Amino acid sequence: MKSKKNLLNQLKTLPYFSKRSVCQLGLQFGLKDSSINTYISRFLKSKDILQLKNGLYISTDFLAINKKDITYLFYLANIIRRPSYISSWAALQYYGLATEAIYPITSTTTKVTRNIQTKAGNFSYQSINNDYFSDFALIRGEFDFYIATPAKALFDLLYFRTRQFRGLSFDRVKILVEELRIDIDEMEISEQKKFYSMVKNILK
């Protein structure tokens, strides 16, 4: 019982962990690999830990402390589906360019489109062509995460909303930005230029 408690206490300090991590920690407390699945099942049943996806977990205590920190949720979004970066509505809201409440954490990925619902939140991943999987940066802090630049976040939003800008004119794109209530005037001039440059390139 002491080993079980020690293991759980260690897991509570981690922002996330895999089954392999549990096995490695278990060895320190003299637990056999064969018993790890049993411990994980018990921790899940008692709700001491929560499953993000198959083989990936977080502790309930760590989530309770950090759930209101958007950077932690962005960090988890990057971890749950790799490769990916925060984009579209979530990124625009992070930059203060979209004022509407956004509930799913929206990301762009080269993998298939998928929505993943967890106790930590809802994570939406939209698939983009490898050629457009670019213009994102690593934000460092307590929780590091990859996020699109403001220009790319807006580009991605419209890319998915318009099915890759099909049948659109450049003037129609400007109207769409207004209709979506994006505060593009609050975006740095250099980012505005990048956005319109990306749009012109894809409309060629």
| pLDDT at position 99 | 76
Q: Is it the case that residue 47 has pLDDT exceeding 90?
A: yes
Topology of the domain covering 2-64: Arc Repressor Mutant, subunit A (1.10.10)
Q: Is it the case that residue 41 has pLDDT exceeding 70?
A: yes
| pLDDT at position 1 | 57
Residues of the chain with CATH 1.10.10.10: 2-64
pLDDT (tens digit per residue) in 187-197:
999 999 999 99
Residue 57: beta bridge partners? Answer: 17, 51
Per-residue tokens: 88: 């579209």
Looking at the whole model, is its pTM more than 0.85? yes
12 by Cβ neighbours in 10 Å (0-12 / 13-18 / 19+) ranks as middle
Q: How far is CA 153 from the centre of its chain?
A: 13
